[in-house]
Structure 1
């Protein structure tokens, strides 16, 4: 339910790249892919997947998950902004950059590295935290000063204790992708309602989870609701 919107976009770009290249098995890099929540299902679809992540514990969990599913996933320890040192240039059809730009030292350098490993026409899938949603969530938690701080901070942070160093509006993501040479696709909202709806309204209610997932998909491209989503998702293509 929380990633249905992202998977819809990924299925679309996978079909597009398969048709464009004539290859059923694509070369995919998951930068910051952690324990393989996206990488393993993509490998199950028959694609060649490499996960780059700085955490050895996460990579060990990835290998266990891949083994349980009976698929092979290549794992490399390293940071997203060092992608060019780990992955051969012009070798990937798709790069996932999910929940990465918030934490890297320089998002511009990280996306420049991503562009370098993509083949011409290849795509990057970017998923990043949204500051507007953070302000809403802090206000609902009664942290009104922190909510106001998010709105006034250029990085979208609510303070020193904020575990997320920076967040991105839709405009900021589009600008960042454009500056690194990508043709920018539409931005979609991820988790517009699912982080706001009390779990008691979903758990144990027949059909509630499916209905909420359908609502999320309907809201993903809504011109107003999209911009209050917990995360924003956008595809960029290497020109």
Structure 2
């Protein structure tokens, strides 16, 4: 998989941008493929080379900067000043500072810092785990979309955590995560909340969007020893193909470390 292409001629190539590190690509390739195909469709539907993208909780710009390199305007909302400083530095190093705007804020007070209905796409990655009211977080993300827009929702999966604790020999913690309303395996669990695919799709549909796709993310990548992927010839490419093949199969959603849901407004779904 190749690094991002130049943003100066977005229509000359499919929108493809991959993380620079092999292990990172194994963990996020599925999300990139789904997200960028959705943005590619919006480019064709709107006839505009540049889309307006909102990245809520976007941190230091892991998604925002590559999307800006493809020519899109990206606004990142994050509560951490340190993350926004890192975003500014990363955007400058990538020479896309003019297309990336960082503002301090959170999902609860989203419209204190951005406008309603102003974005072709909204990313809500790693946010719902931490907000007090996940339903409100999704509703706010949807309210930021234009009449024709897409929502990219990524959140921690319950089944992946249960499986990981069990494989590590922590069987009581695995059972605790399975039974806990928030999917936590104990008081030392750093993750405040986890979700099933049904819970996430329910939140998206409850906010008025059509679910365009559901994918399991990091189904195998977190379970495979890093030394195998980094040293075995062809292992990374094979792992990427395996992740892609399993991502859309509902049977594997229940064991994925993360779950990705693509939501579409009625107008976008018909485009």
Give the TM interval when normalised to the shorter protein: over 0.9
Which of 67, 70, 92 is the matching residue for 1:45?
Answer: 70
Note if 1:5 corresponds to 2:24: no
Deviation at 1:186, TM superposition (A): 2.0
**Deviation >2 Å, runs of 4+:** none
Measure the CA separation in 1 of the matches of 2:109 and 2:37: 28
1:84·1:116 contact (CA, 8 Å) conserved in 2?
A: no
Structure 2 equivalent of residue 68 of structure 1? 93
Which of 101, 105, 116 is the matching residue for 2:132?
Answer: 105
Deviations 1:64-91 (A, max 9, x none): 1111110021000011222122111110
Alignment gaps of 5+ in structure 2: 1-25, 267-271
Measure the CA separation in 1 of the matches of 2:150 and 2:110: 15
Deviation at 1:155, TM superposition (A): 1.2
Note if 1:210 corresponds to 2:237: yes
TM-score, with length taken from structure 2: 0.86
Which of 30, 49, 54 is the matching residue for 1:24?
Answer: 49
2:197·2:253 contact (CA, 8 Å) conserved in 1?
A: no
Measure the CA separation in 2 of the matches of 1:209 and 1:84: 41
Q: Is 37-46 or 86-95 further displaced after alignment? A: 86-95
Measure the CA separation in 1 of the matches of 2:61 and 2:38: 19
Deviation at 1:211, TM superposition (A): 1.1
Measure the CA separation in 2 of the matches of 1:170 and 1:96: 17
1:177·1:236 contact (CA, 8 Å) conserved in 2?
A: yes
1:90·1:120 contact (CA, 8 Å) conserved in 2?
A: yes
Measure the CA separation in 2 of the matches of 1:75 and 1:46: 17
Alignment gaps of 5+ in structure 1: none
Which of 206, 211, 228 is the matching residue for 1:184?
Answer: 211
Deviation at 1:238, TM superposition (A): 2.4
Q: Is 12-21 or 125-134 further displaced after alignment? A: 12-21
TM-score, with length taken from structure 1: 0.97
SS in 2 for 1:13: helix
